[in-house]
Amino acid sequence: MATESVWVFGGASGMGYATAERLHKRGDRVTLLDVAPTTETIAKKLGAVGVVCDITSEAALTDCLEKLAKKQKPRAIINCVGIAPAARIVGKTGPCTLEIFNQVIQVNLCGAFNILRLGAYHMSQSEPDAEGRRGVIIQTASIAAFDGQIGQAAYSASKGGLVAMTLPAARELARFGIRVMTIAPGLMDTPLLRGLPEEVQKSLEAGTPFPKRFGHPSEFAALVEHIMDNPFLNGEVIRLDGALRMN
């Protein structure tokens, strides 16, 4: 697809930032959207546009995307937002609070649907290309959707929801010429994992068959670019994990 307007949610950090950087370099008009107050500064350094917004707010996201779409409709929407607090169902101090579960589902799943519904609407209002294509929406799940570990019940449930949503969304939005894809990363080298103790990081890296290391955010960005440019990829979840199966 030709270089056009791209919205990258969660663009202020990790894989979202790497994606924004790669797409900006190739000439796409990138907007970074993130709840981080530093979003505008980070975007400016890149030469892109930054907008502070919380994807869990129906009103705020509606307003924010309306303003953006008025300037230019999106051709690609990439959602890299995610939170991953670990919480056992029954921990040392008793049952997991419902609040933690709700929070993870709100951000990772409801927030992703908020992006999907509004993003797809604005995309559907754009002019299709000669082959009827209007664009692609890419969500980020996790391999925890398939092989989640102890303490990941909420996270896995939220990412499993994204996996399950991919096909029905692709089927429904096909009539607008909008594709829907999901990437399920394994262990990636972002602030999210680098916050762990060093020995935990080492043992995690050793668990990936090959390459025996964390994935680079640039490898995620490269896959996003490929999905954007390959019009026959639709309604599918792609694992990006060096053959890691967590147990």
Ligand X SMILES: NC(=O)c1ccc[n+]([C@@H]2O[C@H](COP(=O)([O-])OP(=O)(O)OC[C@H]3O[C@@H](n4cnc5c(N)ncnc54)[C@H](O)[C@@H]3O)[C@@H](O)[C@H]2O)c1
Active-site residue set:
155
Judged by the rule CB under 6 A, the positions of this chain that interact with ligand X are 10, 12-16, 34-36, 54-56, 80-84, 107, 111, 140, 142, 185, 187-188, 190-193
DSSP state of 128: P
Q: How far is the CB of 182 from ligand X (least distance, A)?
A: 11
Rounded to 10 degrees, what is the CA torsion of 161, 167, 169, 175? Answer: 180
**Closer CB to ligand X, 5 or 140, in the complex:** 140
Compute the distance between CA of residue 186 and CA of residue 228 in angstroms, rounded to an integer: 21
Distance in Å, CB of 57 to ligand X, minimum: 8
The closest of 185, 67, 69, 162 to 107, measured between CA atoms, is 162
For tokens 């916050």, name the residue.
195
Sorted by sequence, the CB contacts under 8 Å of residue 200 that are 6+ apart come out as: none
Q: Which helix (H) or strand (E) holds 135?
A: strand 135-140
Of residues 123 and 184, the one with the C-beta less far from ligand X: 184
Instruction: Closer to ligand X by CB, 122 or 134: give it.
Output: 122
